Amino acid sequence: MREKTLNILQAAQKRGYAVGAFNVTNLETIQAVVEGANRLKSPCIIQATNKTMVYLGDKILGEMVNLVIENNSDKKTPIGFHLDHGASLDEVIRAIDLGMDSVMIDASRKNFQENLRITQQVVAYAHKRGVAVQAELGNVPYLGREEQNINWEEFMTDPEEAKQLVEESGVDALAVGIGNAHGFFRERELPDWDRLIKIKKLIPNIPLILHGASDWSAEKVSQAVDRGITCFNVDTDLRIAFITSLRDSLKDDYGLVDPRKVLSKAREKVQEKVQEKILMFARKK
C-alpha cells in the first residue's frame, strides 16, 4: 500500500520504533524491499538516488516502483517512496515528477547559510506539492579504506544550528552526523550520543534520520532509537547481498545462462537482508 514517507516516519516516531529506508537500483531490489516488508507486515521506505534515476530513466523508475507497490496493495504494508541525497532543486523537481512523495536535499557540504537557503528553496517547492523534505546538517562522509586520522568534529551536527535550520526552513526530517559514515569501512568508534540527545531535545518533533546504517550493530541501533533516531538508511549492505549472491551463483557454473535464475536468488538474498534490518530497527525500547 502506498503511504506517504512522512506519515511512516511520524507514526514510528510517535510509537518509539524506527523504520528502514532502503536504496534500490533495479527491479529486483524494488521487489525485494517490498516483499521483505510484506513478510513482516512492517512499513518501510523505498529510496533512490539520482544515479538510479539516470540508470533506469526517471519515468521507468517511477512506473516500476508505483507498479510494484500497487501490485502489493492487498497486503496493506505501508511503503513510501523517497529521493535520497538530492543535490539540487532540479533533481528534486524530477523526483517529484516521477512520483516520489518525499525528497532529501543534501546541501550538507555547503556552509550553514547556503545549506539553509537551498533547503528553504526546496521546501517552498515541495510543500506546495504535498511532498515532504529531509535536509542534512553536519555531514555523513563517504570514507575510503585508506583515510586516516579522521577529524570527526568536522562532520558533526551542531544542535543549535539544527534547531535554526528546522525553524527557518520548515523542513520535515533531518539527517544527522553523530559519527556515522556511508559505506562499510569506517565509523567513529562510539557515536556522539550526548549530541544526539541534545539535537532531539531541541527539535523533538522532527524525525531524525541516520545515514550510513549498513554497518550498525543491533546494540548501536537500539541505543540510537532510544535517543531519538526514527529512520536508518541502508544501501551498502543490500548491494553486498545482491552482488555476493551473483558471484556465488556464477563462479563455477559456466553453463548457467538464464539471468532469471541468478537474479531471483540475488533478489531473495536482498529480501532476507531487508527483513533482518527491519527487525533490528523496529525493536522496541
Residues that are catalytic: 84
The CB-of-258 to ligand G3H minimum distance in angstroms stands at 28
Which residue, 69, 85, 80, 59, is CA-closest to 35? 69
183 binds ligand 13P (CB under 6 A): yes
Residue 46 near residue 65, CB atoms below 8 Å: yes
Residue 25 near residue 52, CB atoms below 8 Å: yes
Residue-wise DSSP of 212-280: -GGG--HHHHHHHHHTTEEEEEE-HHHHHHHHHHHHHHHSS-TT---HHHHHHHHHHHHHHHHHHHHHH
> Which of 182, 198, 269, 277 lies at the binding interface for ligand G3H (CB under 6 A)?
182
136 binds ligand 13P (CB under 6 A): no
29 binds ligand G3H (CB under 6 A): no
The CB-of-140 to ligand 13P minimum distance in angstroms stands at 6
Please say whether the dihedral angle defined by the alpha carbons of residues 80, 51, 23 and 123, taken in this order, is positive or negative: negative
Residue 213 binding: pick among Zn ion, ligand 13P, ligand G3H, none (C-beta 5-8 Å cut-off by kind): ligand 13P
Question: Looking up cell 524491499, which residue turns up?
Answer: 33
Amino acid at 133: V
108 binds ligand 13P (CB under 6 A): no
Q: Which residues of 131-163 are buried (b: 16+ CB within 10 A; e: fewer)?
A: bbbbbbbbbbbebeeeeeeeebeebbbbbebbb
Compute the distance between CA of residue 256 and CA of residue 184 in angstroms, rounded to an integer.
Answer: 31
> Which of 25, 72, 108, 233 lies at the binding interface for ligand 13P (CB under 6 A)?
233
> Which of 12, 37, 196, 234 lies at the binding interface for ligand 13P (CB under 6 A)?
234
Selected range binding ligand 13P among 125-133, 147-155, 212-220, 242-250, rule: CB under 6 A: 212-220
Among residues 51 and 59, whose Cβ is nearest to ligand G3H?
51
> Which of 94, 200, 211, 269 lies at the binding interface for Zn ion (CB under 5 A)?
211
Exposed (0-12), middle (13-18) or buried (19+): which is 213, by Cβ within 10 Å? Answer: buried
106 binds ligand 13P (CB under 6 A): no
Count of chain residues binding ligand 13P (CB under 6 A): 14
Among residues 52 and 157, whose Cβ is nearest to ligand G3H?
52
Q: Which residues bind ligand 13P (CB under 6 A)?
A: 23, 84-85, 182-183, 211-214, 233-237
Q: Which residues bind Zn ion (CB under 5 A)?
A: 211, 233
Q: Which residues bind ligand G3H (CB under 6 A)?
A: 23, 49, 51-52, 84-85, 182, 235
